[in-house]
């Protein structure tokens, strides 16, 4: 029993001490997946001289999947390719109540969905503090479009810090916090710049493999 326990402890130590598999010739896969459902949704009243419209948006589903594949071009730099797909769907209802003519009251219900396709290219620079812990700034560009209207979408350029921890040599746990980003709207030709270090927290898992 003691030999078995000693063997298990030794194995854990070896796994924990194994060097993270980063560097030239290595690759990684990962990505993100998000799903949410809001049964109640939101409601809002719009008041007019002729009456009031009560608007409801409910049974809202948000779905997003963004797989990522990356490879190291040298011991520090890595490039990631990340396609993405997201869908937002729900039901909206408008009820109009006339202040003068009840016969003018009406109700309108519509089920909707919006599909978005995207592609991002990311560049990472790994700075390892030790064999298990490090950080990497990540920068990149992305484009996203409505699936049924490619002229409607956004271009974005961004950069932000990330921390990475390797519980084993092949698994990296990532945490990003804050970023600076620039967005350009293809349809309106408007742009937006944002910079923050206290929001945009995100978490991810990458699997590293390959070798020199």
Per-residue pLDDT of 109-160, as tens digits, reads 999 999 999 999 999 999 999 989 999 999 999 999 999 999 999 999 999 9
**Backbone phi and psi for residue 10, each to the nearest 5 degrees, phi listed first:** -65, -40
Cα torsion 210, 136, 138, 120 to 10°: value is: 20
Environment class of 208 (CB within 10 Å of its CB; exposed 0-12, middle 13-18, buried 19+): buried
As a whole number of angstroms, the distance between CA 90 and CA 81 comes to 31
Model confidence, pTM: 0.74
Interval 158-212: pLDDT, tens: 999 999 999 998 999 998 888 899 999 999 999 999 887 666 678 889 999 987 6
**Range with the lowest mean pLDDT among 29-33, 65-69, 80-84?**
29-33
Interval 49-71: pLDDT, tens: 999 999 999 999 999 999 999 99
Environment class of 200 (CB within 10 Å of its CB; exposed 0-12, middle 13-18, buried 19+): middle
**What are the Cα distances from residue 17, in Å, to 95, 196, 210?**
64, 35, 19
As a whole number of angstroms, the distance between CA 5 and CA 9 comes to 6
């Amino acid at each position: 029993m003691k030999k078995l326990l000693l063997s298990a402890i030794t194995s854990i130590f070896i796994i924990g001490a194994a060097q993270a598999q980063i560097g030239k010739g290595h690759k990684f896969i990962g990505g993100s997946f998000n799903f949410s459902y809001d049964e109640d949704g939101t409601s809002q009243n719009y008041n007019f001289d002729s009456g009031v419209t009560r608007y409801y948006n409910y049974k809202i589903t948000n779905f997003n999947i963004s797989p990522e594949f990356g490879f190291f071009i040298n011991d520090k730099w890595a490039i990631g390719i990340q396609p993405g797909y997201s869908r937002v769907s729900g039901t909206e209802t408008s009820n109009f109540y006339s202040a003068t003519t009840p016969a003018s009251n009406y109700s309108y219900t519509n089920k909707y969905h919006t599909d978005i396709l995207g592609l991002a290219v990311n560049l990472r620079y790994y700075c390892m503090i030790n064999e298990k812990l490090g950080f990497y700034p990540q920068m990149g560009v992305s484009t996203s479009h409505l699936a049924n209207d490619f002229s409607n979408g956004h271009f974005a350029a961004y950069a932000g810090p990330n921390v990475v921890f390797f519980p084993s040599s092949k698994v990296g746990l990532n945490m990003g916090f804050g970023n600076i980003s620039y967005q350009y709207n293809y349809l309106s030709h408007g742009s937006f710049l944002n910079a923050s270090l206290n929001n945009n927290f995100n978490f991810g898992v990458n699997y590293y493999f390959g070798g020199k």
